């Protein structure tokens, strides 16, 4: 995000001659360590402070003349306290105003007042300012080189923004809208608590409730393709998509990867993957995603974020891809690696609390807020088990709810053993969530014994759901052959009774990962009958690229 700017010293005086003089003297002594700004009125100075606040910079010292039109120096310093409470405050006064200056010591917690003129500055100005800057340096305002997000604790839009930034590995600072610093940022941006979420960049640009495309642009992610035609377009940034992007770009194909939300997919949300080849101590999904992203970029792949592909069509030898905003890109070949999403838990009351206590996936941003609280997780596969281990580091108790009798049918043995060793984790077999309730967030769950039908109520504000998998392929309806559950059928499975799929005009059969449209391949979880593991997804992504080369050579 760039180096931090020097702390600010702001001088305020409506007399141009005096204003230039005080700024000149201050800059001469402190200009190498501080950025000296000057304003000609209180309102102008407050605007400058709000801009500095939005940029996440520090203000060390305020020097304000007392007798100014519109707003006196005392009034300005009082207002400035709300924006930068730690900044040191000095009032410049004439001899006749010393009573006002003394009174200001109590009103605005004034640090010092200086009589005008202050010459020579070596005797009357610098010793005072030196002492104040030394005192400020002990407890300076917190500067920020990160994006700042101001929002409500139980706000679904606020969670969505935090989750987007976290999953895209964008550093940010989270501030509650009723915290003093959150209030100051809202005021500086001219926003209110009702306007949250507010997002402020390190450069001071503020945006109220941005959508994901706007947020991606603010965070410095690429959202506009550099070209209109590619050798290979990869749709989906999970392990399969990243594998295709790495191998495609490294082998000289002009490659772009398009991701609708965040690279990594479900694997990217995993707190720890311990059975991935080459990582004997395990690796977090975020770490694996970050390495794969950097590797793809190193080889020249282009990564587009927050762009959703909504249409696929043929145009001669090209494949056209239409984005949600109506724009298009084209390519010789396409790899579909859109993965799967967790199935929605259909129980009364839960939909109202999505993002406000009910979360799909690990939602790692919420873990620190679960300290010494009870957390409920629904699901019996590896992703649920990994989440249970992760949340056990924060929560007082983690309840893992499964419909079956045990975990052996759906979870890796190493993970089952790990869960059994953690006292804070309790597995509840034959248990289903049948309802949820609360006021502004989830407060209670209704659980049901699937054998007896007996229900009970538990108090909790945290439910994380990992049930089933649904492919995001509705946009391909009528374009590609899919199985009854929506997964994409590829290769030999497309041959029915030895006949090639309808519309297939080539003299050969579809390649192993090729779909019913020549030159369009599927890899990873979105492919019918695929093995739902990270390693196999990466392998299929790489294999798809080898088939892309075979397809291109035959054209």
Question: In CATH, what number is assigned to the domain containing residue 428?
Answer: 3.50.50.60
CATH of the domain at 86: 3.40.50.2300
- Calculate mean pLDDT across residues 297-308: 95
Q: Are strands 358-360 and 463-465 parallel, antiparallel or unpaired?
A: parallel
Domain boundary among 76, 110, 138: 138
Is the residue at 224 inside a domain?
A: no
Q: Given this model, what pLDDT does residue 274 score?
A: 84
Q: Given this model, what pLDDT does residue 211 score?
A: 92
pLDDT band at residue 115 using 50, 70 and 90 as cut-offs? confident
Q: Which of 266, 242, 265, 267 is nearest to 255 (CA)?
A: 242
For residue 266, give the H/E element and its range: helix 265-268
Q: Are residues 400 and 452 in the same domain?
A: yes
Q: Which of 466, 520, 519 is nearest to 488 (CA)?
A: 520
Q: Given this model, what pLDDT does residue 387 score?
A: 93
- Which 8-state DSSP code applies to residue 58? -
- Calculate mean pLDDT across residues 390-411: 95
Domain boundary among 101, 118, 138: 138
Q: Are residues 277 and 363 in the same domain?
A: no
Q: Are residues 463 and 474 in the same domain?
A: no
Is the residue at 2 inside a domain?
A: no
- Calculate mean pLDDT across residues 394-403: 96
Cβ-Cβ contacts under 8 Å for 386 (sequence gap 6 or more): 270, 271, 272, 273, 362, 415
Q: How many CA atoms lie within 13 A of 540 on its CB side?
A: 33
Is the residue at 483 inside a domain?
A: yes
Is the residue at 107 inside a domain?
A: yes
Q: Are residues 331 and 412 in the same domain?
A: no
Note whether 199 and 285 are within 8 A (CB): no
Q: Given this model, what pLDDT does residue 378 score?
A: 97
More confident residue, 497 or 241: 241
pLDDT band at residue 3 using 50, 70 and 90 as cut-offs? low
pLDDT digits (tens, 9 = 90+) for 54-102: 888 899 999 999 888 888 888 899 889 888 888 999 988 876 566 666 6
Residue 298 pLDDT greater than 60, yes or no: yes
Q: Are residues 25 and 117 in the same domain?
A: yes
- Calculate mean pLDDT across residues 300-320: 96
Neighbours of 171 (CB within 10 A): 13
More confident residue, 101 or 147: 147
- Calculate mean pLDDT across residues 477-505: 94
Q: Given this model, what pLDDT does residue 10 score?
A: 96
Q: Are residues 206 and 263 in the same domain?
A: no
More confident residue, 144 or 323: 323
pLDDT band at residue 4 using 50, 70 and 90 as cut-offs? low
Note whether 216 and 306 are within 8 A (CB): yes
Domain boundary among 138, 158, 180: 138
Is the residue at 272 inside a domain?
A: yes
* Domains held by the chain: number: 4
Is the residue at 479 inside a domain?
A: yes
Residue 103 pLDDT greater than 70, yes or no: no
Distance CA 392, CA 359 (A): 17
pLDDT band at residue 45 using 50, 70 and 90 as cut-offs? very high
In three-state secondary structure terms, 425 is: strand
Nearest 10 degrees: CA dihedral of 487, 491, 493, 495? 130
pLDDT band at residue 106 using 50, 70 and 90 as cut-offs? low
Note whether 261 and 246 are within 8 A (CB): no
Distance CA 399, CA 416 (A): 14
Q: Given this model, what pLDDT does residue 1 score?
A: 44
Burial (Cβ within 10 Å: 0-12, 13-18, ≥19) of residue 8:
buried
In three-state secondary structure terms, 464 is: strand
Give percent of the chain above pLDDT 70: 95
Is the residue at 285 inside a domain?
A: yes
pLDDT band at residue 277 using 50, 70 and 90 as cut-offs? confident
Distance CA 276, CA 534 (A): 7
pLDDT digits (tens, 9 = 90+) for 328-383: 999 999 999 999 988 999 999 999 999 999 999 888 788 888 999 999 999 999 99
Q: Are residues 460 and 510 in the same domain?
A: no
pLDDT digits (tens, 9 = 90+) for 157-206: 999 999 999 888 888 889 999 999 899 999 999 999 999 999 998 888 89
Is the residue at 3 inside a domain?
A: no
Distance CA 454, CA 456 (A): 7
Q: Are residues 177 and 298 in the same domain?
A: no
Q: Which of 88, 86, 125, 90 is nearest to 104 (CA)?
A: 90
- Calculate mean pLDDT across residues 398-424: 95
Q: What angle do CA 497, 501, 507 make, to 5 degrees?
A: 95
Q: What angle do CA 50, 52, 55 make, to 5 degrees?
A: 110
Q: Are residues 125 and 208 in the same domain?
A: no
Q: Are residues 129 and 17 in the same domain?
A: yes
Radius of gyration of the chain (CA): 30
pTM (predicted TM-score): 0.77
pLDDT digits (tens, 9 = 90+) for 501-523: 998 999 999 999 999 999 999 99
CATH of the domain at 169: 3.40.30.10
Q: Given this model, what pLDDT does residue 279 score?
A: 83
Q: Which domain holds residue 37?
A: 8-138
Cβ-Cβ contacts under 8 Å for 520 (sequence gap 6 or more): 312, 319, 333, 334, 335, 336, 480, 514
Q: Are residues 165 and 196 in the same domain?
A: yes
Q: Are residues 496 and 425 in the same domain?
A: no
- Which 8-state DSSP code applies to residue 55? T
- Calculate mean pLDDT across residues 425-442: 97
pLDDT mean across residues, the chain: 91
Peptide bond into 197 cis (omega under 30): yes
Residue 144 pLDDT greater than 60, yes or no: no
Q: Given its phi and psi angles, is residue 326 left (phi above 0), alpha (psi -120 to 50 degrees) or beta?
A: left
């Amino acid at each position: 995000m760039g180096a931090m700017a020097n702390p600010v010293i702001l001088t305020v005086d409506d007399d141009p001659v005096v204003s230039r003089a005080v700024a000149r003297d201050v800059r001469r002594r402190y200009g190498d360590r501080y950025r000296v700004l000057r304003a000609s009125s209180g309102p102008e100075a407050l605007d400058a402070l709000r801009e500095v606040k939005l940029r996440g910079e520090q203000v060390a010292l305020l020097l304000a003349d007392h007798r100014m039109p519109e707003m006196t120096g005392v009034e300005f310093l009082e207002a400035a306290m709300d924006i930068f409470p730690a900044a040191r405050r000095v009032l410049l006064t004439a001899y006749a105003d010393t009573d006002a200056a003394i009174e200001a010591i109590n009103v605005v917690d004034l640090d010092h007042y200086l009589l005008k003129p202050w010459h020579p500055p070596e005797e009357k100005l610098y010793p005072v300012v030196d002492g104040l800057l030394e005192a400020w340096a002990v407890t300076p305002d917190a500067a920020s080189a990160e994006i700042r997000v101001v929002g409500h604790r139980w706000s679904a839009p606020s969670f969505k923004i935090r989750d987007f930034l976290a999953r895209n590995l964008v550093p940010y600072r989270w501030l509650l809208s009723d915290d003093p610093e959150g209030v100051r940022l809202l005021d500086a941006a001219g926003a209110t608590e009702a306007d949250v979420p507010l997002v402020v960049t390190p450069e001071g640009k503020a945006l109220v409730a941005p959508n994901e495309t706007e947020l991606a642009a603010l965070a410095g992610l690429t959202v506009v393709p550099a070209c209109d035609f590619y050798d290979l377009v990869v749709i989906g940034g999970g392990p399969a998509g990243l594998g295709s992007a790495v191998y495609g770009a490294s082998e000289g194909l002009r490659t772009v990867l398009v991701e609708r939300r965040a690279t990594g997919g479900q694997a990217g949300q995993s707190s720890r993957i311990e059975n991935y080849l080459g990582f004997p101590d395990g690796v977090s999904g975020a770490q694996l995603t970050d390495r794969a992203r950097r590797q793809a970029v190193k080889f020249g792949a282009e990564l587009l974020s927050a762009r959703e592909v909504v249409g696929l069509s043929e145009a001669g030898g090209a494949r056209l891809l239409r984005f949600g905003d109506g724009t298009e890109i084209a390519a010789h070949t396409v790899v579909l690696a859109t993965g799967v999403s967790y199935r929605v838990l259909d129980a009364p009351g839960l939909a109202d609390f999505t993002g406000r206590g009910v979360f799909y996936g690990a939602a790692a941003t919420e873990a620190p807020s679960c300290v010494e609280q009870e957390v409920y997780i629904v699901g019996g596969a590896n992703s649920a088990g990994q989440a249970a281990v992760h949340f056990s580091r924060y929560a007082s108790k983690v309840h893992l709810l499964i419909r079956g009798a045990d975990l052996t049918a759906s979870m890796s043995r190493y993970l089952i053993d790990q869960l059994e060793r953690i006292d804070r984790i309790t597995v509840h077999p034959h248990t289903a969530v049948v309802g949820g309730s609360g006021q502004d967030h989830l407060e209670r769950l209704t659980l049901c014994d699937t054998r007896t039908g007996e229900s009970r109520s538990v108090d909790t504000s945290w439910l994380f759901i990992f049930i089933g998998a649904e492919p995001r392929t509705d946009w391909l309806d009528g374009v590609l052959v899919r199985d009854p559950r929506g997964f994409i059928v590829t290769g030999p499975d497309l041959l029915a009774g030895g006949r090639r799929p309808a519309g297939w005009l080539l003299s050969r059969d579809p390649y192993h990962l090729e779909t019913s449209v020549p030159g369009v391949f599927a890899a990873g979880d979105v492919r019918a009958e695929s093995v739902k593991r990270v390693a196999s997804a990466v392998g299929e992504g790489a294999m798809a690229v080898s088939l892309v080369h075979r397809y291109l050579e035959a054209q």
